[in-house]
Structure 1
Amino acid sequence: MTTDITTPAPTSPRAHAPAHPGHAAPKHKHRDRKPTGSRRSPGSYAIVAAVTAFVLAFLAPFAVILLNSFKTSADYRANGSLSWPTEWNWSIVGEVWERVDFTQKLVNSVQISLGVVLIAVVLALFNAYAIGIGRVRWRTAFLVFFLGVNVLPQEGLVYPIYYLFKEAGLYDGKLGYTILVGITYSAFGTYLLSSVFAGFPRELIEAASLDGAGRWTILWRIILPMSWPTLSVMCVFFFVWSWNEFLYPLVLLVSNDNQTVPLGLSVMQGQYTSDPTSMSAAALLGVIPMIVFFLIFQRSLTRGLTAGAVK
């Protein structure tokens, strides 16, 4: 019996020898590819230029106010409003602060604005929960009513409200004014939240109901956490709107101890007297709290505005 034994072909020792550490393995040469989209089109440069011009135009008034807030009156009259201060007058801000009693005005504005936000958001949440989730009767009629409250001008409501506050004993009181503005703003919040709750997934509510959750549990455990981005935006808007209110506090808050920041700054200019540097310092004092507020809550505002953009 013959057995064929096949002998393997001898292999070169270089085939199994490890590569020399000093020599790198040959690399395949690829053609250099230019990354797509690396070059901007002329349209993108035009958009960047337009946005830059818009930002500069927006910041220009603030820069003028900042320059004139530390000028002397003689410097302003001699060189105008656009010149650099020849001598920085740091005491003018303190003088305006004491003249306006800005500490009391600032405390009043913060208290009223926070109270307005609390009342408006709570009322809007309850109303929208009943209209958008509960599907109450005459839902459309309620929405039209709340929309009508938003479009009514303040000038048409100020006189009835004035006489109502007089009769109810709420005139020249921060509590009555806070309740009034909070109820007024809640109409807008109700209209906004009702449209948001109308598209709320009903499956979650039905599943929670099957698990034994009541209406209050559904509101606090499901509706409120999922609608918090919208509520945070409403809080920011209501705070800013309440801070900048002028007509209602002008009519309803007449005493110096109850006035807000806009009313306190309005006394800096009279019919026959006007000091541009003091007005600029007063405007600077009125703007700084809003800038600080936006810096604190800018993340909440951004999240709320972009909450429904990406799912």
Structure 2
Amino acid sequence: MAVTTITAGRPKSPRKSSDRHRRGVSRWIILALVTIAALAMLVPFVFMLLNAFKSPGDYSTGGPLSWPSEFYTKGLSNYWHQVNFPLKLWNSLLIAGSVAVLGVVVSLLNAYALGIGRVKGRLWIVGLFLLANMLPQEALIYPLYYAAKQVGLYNTQLSVIIIFTVIQSAFGTYLLASVLSTFPKSVLEAASLDGAGKWTVLWRVVFPNLRPTLAVLLIFFFIWTWNEFLIPLVMLIDNSTQTIPVALASLQGDRLMDAPTTNAGALISLIPAVLFFIIFQRTLSRGITAGAEK
């Protein structure tokens, strides 16, 4: 006689179901708050887009919140020709691109010496790099101005490139030195046993493992340098050497400002940075993910 055994599943714990319900509600609340914060951050860009295609008459009559009565594009053309935007774009690309590449190279070399080379007083040196990164630009502007005058680099893109390479590499050195201090010693010892020198270890072992982190630093250095204003404003006084942020600030006078042209200029100036971020967005996400996995 066959005996059939029926096994009843365990009843779900009411505590677990209630906890899961609470987590689901909390996730929706967090998602709603993040969505509201993202929409709030987009409000200034909406106003900029709205006023970029508004005539001065519409702006003076209805203010910045009114809807334009016509599609006004003269502000874009005025800004393009008034500040010679192609030249300013080239200056910004030259400075930001050079600083990004040189800053990453200098950061890698410094961090390799501090993190793997084990220089004496490493902690003090890394602390000095961190302290230098915390100094405000207002405290540095006069010594930098005086030094550039003395060596004949004032009003040249090279002066700004050198300054920002040092500034950005201070942060990069602090970050990479912390990463390289935890680099597996077994890998370095195996490379040494194979007869690899210091340069070979750097470019064949360390560099491939740090490539995602270096890509993130490259993107950050480019964007940070692109948005810099104070130092380029002081160091670049000639119209042919100025960058986009300085050119945008030149539209505003002491008592008069053409708001539609200024908004149109801000819109045009924003497009290259947004395109750069979109192009390298996947590289940025991969670098951050790789850094989190390590």
TM-score, shorter chain, exceeding 0.5: yes
- Deviation string for 1:41-92 (max 9, x for gaps)? 3222211211110111011110110011001111122222223222101232
Distance of 2:131 and 2:291 partners within structure 1:
27
Contact conserved, 2:160 with 2:235, CA < 8 A, in 1?
A: yes
Aligned with 2:249 (options 266, 269, 274): 266
Aligned equivalent of 1:81:
64
Aligned residue identity for 2:255:
Y
Query: C-alpha separation between the residues in 2 aligned to 1:192 and 1:206?
Result: 23
Distance 2:109 2:270 in 1: 33
* Residue 174 (structure 1) aligned to one of 133, 153, 157: 157
Identity of aligned residues (%): 49
The structural deviation recorded for 1:39 is 10
CA distance in structure 2 between the partners assigned to 1:303 and 1:41 by the alignment: 28
The one-letter code matched in structure 2 to 1:78 is T
- Please give the secondary structure, in 2, of the residue aligned with 1:307: helix
One-letter amino acid of the structure 1 residue matched with residue 64 of structure 2: S
Normalised by the length of structure 1, the TM-score is: 0.85
- Give distance in 2, aligned partners of 1:114 and 1:243: 9
Please state if 1:160 is matched with 2:143: yes
Cα contact 1:66–1:280 (8 A) shared by 2: yes
Q: Is the 8 A contact 2:51 2:263 kept in 1?
A: yes
Aligned residues, how many?
280
Correspondent of 1:111 among 91, 94, 101: 94
Larger radius of gyration: 1
Give distance in 1, aligned partners of 2:32 and 2:285. Answer: 24
Amino acid at match of 2:129: F
Pairing 1:248–2:235 present: no
Contact 1:105 1:260 in 2 (8 A): yes
Report the secondary structure of 1:271's partner residue.
Answer: coil
CA distance in 2, matches of 1:152, 1:48: 36
Q: Is the 8 A contact 1:233 1:304 kept in 2?
A: yes
Deviation larger for 126-135 or 277-286: 277-286
- Aligned residue in 1 for 2:173: 190
1: CA distance, partners of 2:24 / 2:202: 50
Q: Secondary structure at the match of 1:162?
A: helix
Task: Give the 5 Å matches for 1:38-77.
Answer: 41-77=24-60
CA distance in 2, matches of 1:177, 1:310: 36
Secondary structure of the residue aligned to 1:309 is: helix
Q: Name the structure where helix makes up a greater proportion of residues.
A: 2
Inter-partner Cα distance in structure 1 for 2:136 and 2:22: 51
1:40 CA displacement: 7.7
Aligned residue number for residue 128 of structure 1:
111
The normalised TM-score by structure 2 is 0.90
Letter in 2 for 1:186: S
- Distance, in Å, in 2 between the alignment partners of 1:191 and 1:309 is 18
- Alignment equivalent of 2:285, drawn from 302, 306, 311: 302
1:14 corresponds to: none
User: For the aligned residues, what is the CA RMSD?
Assistant: 2.0
1:215 counterpart letter in structure 2: K
